[in-house]
Structure 1
Amino acid sequence: MSSDFLKLVGERIRTLRKEKGYTQESLSEKSGIHVTYISDIERGERNISMETLEKVITALDVNAVEVFRIEGIEGIEERNEKKLLIEAFNSLLAGRKIEEVQMILRLAKDVLGTFDKLN
């Protein structure tokens, strides 16, 4: 059984691979990782080591932070799993300045306060 986080990272790796125009086979060749293992990573079925992640990042020629920018996954807003959505929201905020995070927190509190008043 794979974790939600592994699934999100795997989906992000798949998205980055496709953006580069790579097949799983070409990513396998570039990274030196077996194609079946690449497939397992993308499905979130492998708890990969940092060394393996580094090989994937190098092969994709992206910054490490790109792998964890899960807000870029298509359809993330349509997911109905609360934990996944919270992790996606967290990833949106992770690279932001503290002032921006504080502003988003204030906005979220205002929006939630409005929801609470309506219910």
Structure 2
Amino acid sequence: MKLPERVGNRIRELRKAKGWTQEQLAEAASLHYSYIGGVERGGRNISLETLDKIATALQVPALELFRTEEYTNRQQALDEHMVMLSSRRTSEITLLTKINKDILTAIDVKSE
């Protein structure tokens, strides 16, 4: 999926999370509702200024328009590992790092 489609899908997700119609988002962003439809389908090559208007209307940081479910799931998994490791002694973290490297090497070899 190309970037305009991913961003469009994310805008749709955020709009629906607010319970808004395309018309409501368009009004809040000072855009035409048919334009919002094109953006959500990934059919518009929108400017940074338009992205800013949409982010402002949705009351989210512009970066949020680029976050995907895959990114969010990945970040949550990484955060979980950080929480698990944060209370460990340095020697335990060093050991776990070695174990993880060995596991990842085995996975890489298997997938070749």
- Do the structures match in fold with TM over 0.5? yes
Aligned Cα root-mean-square deviation (Å): 3.3
Name the amino acid aligned to 2:107: T
- Aligned counterparts of 2:52 and 2:102: Cα–Cα separation in 1: 38
Provide closer, same or farther for how the CA distance between residues 38 and 118 of structure 1 changes in structure 2, counting only shifts above 3 A: closer
Q: What SS does the aligned partner of 1:12 have?
A: helix
Which residue is equivalent to 1:55?
53
Provide closer, same or farther for how the CA distance between residues 115 and 9 of structure 1 changes in structure 2, counting only shifts above 3 A: same
**Residues 17-56 of structure 1: pairs in structure 2 closer than 5 A:** 17-56=15-54
Name the amino acid aligned to 2:34: T
Which residue is equivalent to 1:114?
107
Name the amino acid aligned to 2:50: T
Aligned pair count reads 92
Name the amino acid aligned to 2:2: D
Which residue is equivalent to 1:103?
none
* Structure-2-length-normalised TM-score: 0.66
Name the amino acid aligned to 2:18: K
Q: What SS does the aligned partner of 1:117 have?
A: helix
Q: What SS does the aligned partner of 1:10 have?
A: helix
Unaligned runs of at least 5 residues, structure 2:
83-97
Higher percent of residues as helix: 2
Please identify the structure whose Cα radius of gyration is greater: 2
Which residue is equivalent to 2:85?
none
Identity of aligned residues (%): 44
